[in-house]
Structure 1
Amino acid sequence: MGQKTRPTGFRIGVVEDWRSRWYAPKREFGSLLVEDQKIRRFIKAEYRSAAIERVEIERTRDSVVVLLHTARPGIVIGRKGQEIDRLKGRLEDLTGRRMEVKIVEVNNAYRSATLVAEDIAQQLQKRGSFRRAVKRTLDQVMEAGVHGVKIELSGRLGGAEMSRKEKASRGSIPLSTLRRHVDYGFAVAKTGQGIIGVKVWVDLGDYADEESGDGTHAKAGQTPQKPKRSHKR
């Protein structure tokens, strides 16, 4: 059911919200879609060290609201807000529209599959051992209180002649239900031997538990336990 498709795309419109939220007539839809992609690529390229998880875009008739989900908001905001004003001006020059930039802080980077994948990619680009990077990352992600994590690397691992895939996992990654919040992230490591792809799946628990707050106190790798019934009469 969920083995051959991207988990986030599989859930969008069902339990996940859309990353771009706007309405446009048919003749304008294509150009606005391309503009959204330009905005995302520009922000990702300019702020690689800001640990940006995702960029959400909302459009009104007069302006465009860009929501940056980042684990390092200080880098994007800058001293006395100078950097965010500069970003706003550059986005207005890029699109020709009135822009508004809002920052949403990501509390724990190890609970975000995208940020975990980018972290592994950076370690590989610094010529680190892929086995050591994967093992350390698995430990750190499980310590963040998630239910499971799976990492897949593909390419010329360790400078080998032939490319191959390596998988490692901890806990559970359910693939047959949409009620589980399975976050997915992908990153590319450009090494001297070639490109290595990094895929990460993180099981954050049930959506219902996240809304009620029950899932936050679950132990690493375990589902939240139901309260025991009392036998007192």
Structure 2
Amino acid sequence: MAIERRFIQDSMVVYKVFKYLETKLDRAGFAYVNIQRTPILTRIDVYVTDPGRVIGRKGKSINELTSELSKKFGLENPQLNVVEIKDFYLQPRIIAQRVCKLLEIGKKARPILHFTLKKILDSGAIGAEIVASGKIVAKGGRSKSLRVAAGFIPKSGESGRLVRSAHVTAYPKSGAIGVLVRIVPEGTIFPDKKPIDKSKLELPAVVRHAVEEPPHFPGEKV
């Protein structure tokens, strides 16, 4: 049972580190983190859209963050590596957070979802799905669900594990809204399907003509 207990403990540490960095590096466009343990150190790869906010002036911020991770989670000799993400629209968590922020400032859900789906597919994805569930209507209205999708999105089996996904909750005045984003990046190879030709994918007309321009990502050049 000792080995099983160790696996569970390691998984809990990874989850806690993820949730901590999710809050701590929100303004840096945090996407995800990879943690690898070795006998002499713990390698932590943090993927963000704006590395400068993580590193700080003369490396001050990254040194403080490394020290905090060591003290809070008992990581042995943590080595923090910051990786810049350039494919903003292929990162489900970043997309979900952006949609949530727009909903929280009062933007209408339908045009936001249509425009975001268009940008995801224009960035190279071969399939994407965005679902907003909750108080997406005016305050006092019933909860409902709004889904937009295009391309190929497997739902189950081994193929379903290859889909990137993230769920974030928005808290506008009308009430909580859950946002689920699922993305299949270009080049994904499914064991039970032939390679997908992205040029043959057709977007719904309402998505092709979406014009709702959301705020830019941290670190994104405009």
Instruction: Please state which band the TM-score falls in when normalised by the shorter chain.
Output: 0.7 to 0.9
Q: CA deviation at 1:155?
A: 0.3
2:141 corresponding residue in structure 1:
161
Q: If each structure's strand is expressed as a fraction of its own residues, which one has the higher value?
A: 1
TM-superposed CA distance for 1:204, in Å, is: 1.8
Instruction: Kindly indicate whether residue 17 of structure 2 is the aligned counterpart of residue 51 of structure 1.
Output: no
Counterpart of 1:13 in structure 2 is none
- State the distance in 1 between where 2:156 and 2:3 align: 36
Contact 1:142 1:220 in 2 (8 A): no
Describe how 1:222-233 pairs up with structure 2 within 5 A.
Answer: none
Q: State the match for 1:191 in structure 2.
A: 172
Task: Structure 2: give runs of 5+ residues left out of the alignment.
Answer: 203-222
The structural deviation recorded for 1:33 is: 2.9
1:120 to 99, 108, 111: 99
- Determine helix, strand or coil for the equivalent of 2:137: helix
**Following the alignment from structure 1 to structure 2, what is the Cα–Cα distance between the partners of residues 141 and 28?**
38
Structure-2 separation of matches of 1:141 and 1:207: 15
Deviation at 1:80, TM superposition (A): 2.5
Structure 1: runs of 5 or more not aligned = 1-23, 223-233
CA contact (8 A) 1:120 1:134 kept: yes
Aligned residue pairs: how many? Answer: 194
What residue number does 2:58 align with? 80
Structure 2 counterparts to residues 132-151 of structure 1, below 5 A: 132-151=111-130
Contact residue 147 and residue 220 of structure 1 kept, 8 A: no
Equivalent-residue separation in structure 1 for 2:26 and 2:64 (angstroms) = 16
Decide whether the 8 Å contact of 1:84 with 1:101 is kept in 2. Answer: yes
Q: Which residue of 2 aligns with 1:111?
A: 90
- What is the Cα deviation at residue 38 of structure 1? 2.0
Aligned counterparts of 2:154 and 2:7: Cα–Cα separation in 1: 35
* Residue in structure 2 matched with residue 61 of structure 1 by the alignment: 39
Matched with 1:94 is 72
